Amino acid sequence: MKECSIEFFPPKNAAGEARLRETIEGLLPLKPSFASVTFGAGGSTRERTFDTVRMISQDYPLEAVPHLSCIASTREGIREILENYRAQGIGRIVALRGDLLPGMDTPGEFRHANELVAFIKDFGGFEIHVAAYPEMHPESPEPVIDLENFIRKTRAGADVAITQYFYNNNAYYQFVEDLRRRDVDIPVVAGVMPIASYEQIARFSKLCGAEIPRFIHVRMEAYADDPASQRAFGIEVVTRQCEDLLRQGAPGLHFYTLNQAEPTATIWRNLGLG
């Protein structure tokens, strides 16, 4: 059975929480293996991430997996968060470096995610998930250096990788192959970004370095005044992408839901998952 998981961001207010609850209720019948909750840049959503993790764990039959980023943090601060999660019975964590928000200039006591992974490993008791970039992290000078930096996280104790989203499956296959050639055999779960709003995805993709293939771009542009056709094409493309990933042996899929049940639910149903 492939592990298929979902990701949420912590809502900003009561209306956002109500929408998130509807989304969770829409996705629960699909039986996701867990729901991860993001942690805003430089700890900017710290309390809201805690609250969302608690809400999911207490109110739903769904495992909550917090993201934790270390930039701008102290060891003591991270230890306190881990103690809090341990007391709540949290079993896995997505360990990240994170990014600084504009105006924040303190890197803190951890420079890279491998240092956070080592710290969590030493603390003990959590399965550690880390980020991977089949199309290379945008700050990296070249793919081989980025791959070596990714491998530092596995050597520090990462158990599972979740990738940045991508639409070129060959980038994922190449990344996994490069790892296997270096005898790194942790599962690499494919991050999947359903296309709810093409404009939004195009904006994100510029920031995170995920390439949008030309055939998607030109079709989406052609449907610019026809949101129903954009949505239908987005579902079709991402369903085919996921079918190919599963057929070629991806150990699981992690859906960036952007707190919307659709189109993730439609793609899962198309795939016959859940």
- Which positions lie near ligand FAD, rule CB under 6 A? 38-39, 41, 67, 69, 94, 96-99, 112-114, 131, 137, 139-140, 146, 149, 152-153, 162, 164, 191
When the beta carbons of 114 and 230 are compared against ligand FAD, the nearer one is 114
Please list the active-site residues: 7
Which run of H or of E encompasses 203?
A: helix 198-208
Q: What gap in Å lies between CA 106 and CA 117, rounded to an integer?
A: 20
Place of tokens 């964590």: 93
When the beta carbons of 23 and 135 are compared against ligand FAD, the nearer one is 135
When the beta carbons of 12 and 269 are compared against ligand FAD, the nearer one is 12
Contacts 24+ apart (CB under 8 A), 143-149: 147/175, 147/178, 147/179, 147/182, 149/112, 149/114
- Asked if 43 and 13 count as a contact pair (C-beta separation under 8 A), the reply is no
| Minimum CB–partner distance for residue 62 and ligand FAD (Å) | 18
Closest CA to 253 of 198, 196, 202, 194: 194
When the beta carbons of 39 and 85 are compared against ligand FAD, the nearer one is 39
| Minimum CB–partner distance for residue 112 and ligand FAD (Å) | 3
| Minimum CB–partner distance for residue 263 and ligand FAD (Å) | 19
Which run of H or of E encompasses 72?
A: none
- Asked if 157 and 128 count as a contact pair (C-beta separation under 8 A), the reply is yes
Tokens of 238: 């991402």
Q: What gap in Å lies between CA 249 and CA 45, rounded to an integer?
A: 35
| Minimum CB–partner distance for residue 100 and ligand FAD (Å) | 9
